């Protein structure tokens, strides 16, 4: 997800009105301004407004103090990357407008509510217009969808125009979500995006240079061991448990994580190594990272596949295990092509392949509970 100021820059480029602002990281960086301002923590998690991440300041000194205050806050454990300072707007109404990718719409869907703001979830569900491919957007259909909830004709027509811009922006810049909440109706009737939640499709990096640049910047912010895993195109998400999982395929990984929970354990990570499922080079950084993680007590290797040869996976494990300095136990469940050769290969390092995934997960959970 983009930071608010990044998303607003994208909206501004598409012709959507947004407040002028300054992006700073320390109170001392705040430049001179006129009037009252909003100081907003720039984080990628939600719920910032309810958590005190938006402060009002009436003077330059107050704004500088507010910047330092929000930069010291944490939001779901996330530290702000910056603070955005914008002029405090005088608004007549707050609306809600978003365009999202939704499988139920077979493409894009537009959502609109005539009352926006931090309590949007407590109100009635937004009016919904399923578009499908962006080229299917029809202004008259969206107008008909929202006319029952938006009785102000002038506002409705401005929303229709804005919605078309958002759909074009989403399609052209590979956005899976563009959410404006609140979308403000100013006192002169104009619409302005006071907040923006924009999510891009990470897999569009090959055609969107800015997405590729953001991914590289995110990777460089990670610890070196995590960077090594990301260089191998592993999908890695740290969690709070103690049973680490090395698996192949997102569906397989999610299923095994659920099984760990069902059997009384707690997964320590989502780690999908499917881009290099039979490569020693691919698995080595994953083991290095998990061995160095003090939360991890046990490592479960669960790989299944037809195209992936299990004898090659087992050979990779045989090469890696003697090089580890960690004593953390490793539990194996490999199943698929050439699985009949796995037992003999793992026997070379004193390991065994479990007969079922359930048995492997049960042993992993048991070992984690036994290790202090």
Give me the residue label for tokens 């994953």: 286
The mean pLDDT of the chain is 91
How many whole angstroms separate alpha carbon 174 and alpha carbon 207? 9
Nearest to 199 by CA among 100, 321, 132: 100
Architecture of domain 223-370: 3-Layer(aba) Sandwich (3.40)
Strand 298-309 vs strand 243-247: parallel, antiparallel, or unpaired?
parallel
Parse the chain into domains and list their residue ranges: 20-87, 91-204, 223-370
Q: Looking at the chain, which runs of residues are DSSP E strands?
A: 21-24, 37-42, 54-57, 82-87, 91-102, 107-113, 127-132, 175-186, 191-193, 197-200, 235-238, 243-247, 269-272, 298-309, 330-337
- What phi and psi values does residue 50 have, to the nearest 5 degrees? -70, -20
The pTM of this model reads 0.73
With a pLDDT cut of 90, the percent of the chain lying above it is 73
How many whole angstroms separate alpha carbon 370 and alpha carbon 251? 29
Nearest to 218 by CA among 100, 250, 11, 205: 205
Please state which CATH class domain 91-204 belongs to.
alpha beta
* pLDDT tens column, 94-143: 999 999 999 999 999 999 999 998 888 888 899 999 999 999 999 999 99
- What pLDDT sits at residue 118? 82
Strand 82-87 vs strand 197-200: parallel, antiparallel, or unpaired?
unpaired
- What pLDDT sits at residue 6? 95
Q: Answer for the pair 86, 193: CB distance below 8 angstroms, yes or no.
A: no
* pLDDT tens column, 38-97: 999 999 887 788 888 999 999 999 999 999 999 999 987 789 999 999 999 999 999 999
Architecture of domain 20-87: 2-Layer Sandwich (3.30)
Q: What is the DSSP string of 1-31?
A: ---HHHHHHHHHHTT-----EEEESSGGGPP
Confidence band (pLDDT; 50, 70, 90) for 7?
Answer: very high
């Amino acid at each position: 997800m983009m930071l608010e100021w990044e998303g607003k820059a994208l909206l501004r480029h598409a012709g959507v009105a947004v407040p002028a602002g300054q992006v700073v990281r320390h109170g001392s960086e705040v430049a001179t301004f006129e009037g009252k301002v909003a100081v907003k923590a720039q984080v990628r998690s939600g719920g910032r407004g309810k958590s005190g991440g938006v402060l009002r300041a009436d003077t330059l000194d107050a704004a500088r103090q507010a910047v330092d205050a929000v930069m010291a806050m944490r939001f779901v454990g996330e530290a702000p990357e910056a603070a955005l300072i914008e002029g405090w707007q005088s608004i007549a109404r707050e609306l809600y407008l978003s365009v999202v990718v939704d499988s139920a719409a077979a493409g894009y869907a537009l959502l609109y509510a005539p009352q926006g703001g931090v309590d949007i979830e407590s109100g009635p569900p937004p009016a919904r217009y399923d578009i499908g491919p962006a080229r299917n957007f029809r202004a008259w259909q969206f107008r008909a969808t929202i006319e029952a909830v938006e009785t102000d004709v002038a506002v409705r027509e401005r929303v229709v125009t804005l919605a078309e811009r958002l759909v074009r922006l989403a399609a052209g810049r590979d956005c899976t979500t563009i959410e404006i909440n609140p979308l403000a109706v100013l006192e002169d009737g104009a619409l302005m995006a006071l907040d923006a939640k924009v999510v891009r499709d990470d897999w569009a990096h090959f055609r969107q240079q800015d997405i590729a640049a953001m991914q590289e910047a995110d990777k460089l912010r990670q610890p070196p061991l995590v960077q090594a895993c990301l260089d191998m195109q592993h999908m890695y998400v740290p969690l709070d448990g103690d049973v680490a999982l090395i698996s192949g395929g997102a569906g397989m990984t999610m299923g095994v994580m659920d099984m760990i929970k069902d059997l009384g354990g707690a997964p320590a990570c989502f780690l999908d190594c499917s881009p290099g499922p039979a490569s020693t080079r691919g698995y080595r950084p994953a083991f290095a990272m998990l061995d160095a993680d003090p939360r991890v007590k046990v490592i479960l290797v669960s790989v299944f596949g037809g195209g992936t040869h299990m004898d090659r996976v087992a050979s990779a494990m045989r090469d890696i295990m003697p090089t580890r300095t960690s004593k953390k136990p490793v539990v194996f469940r490999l199943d698929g092509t050439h699985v009949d050769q796995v037992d003999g290969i793992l026997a070379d390092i004193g390991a065994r392949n479990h007969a079922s995934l359930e048995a492997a997960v049960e042993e992993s959970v048991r070992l984690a509970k036994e290790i202090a």
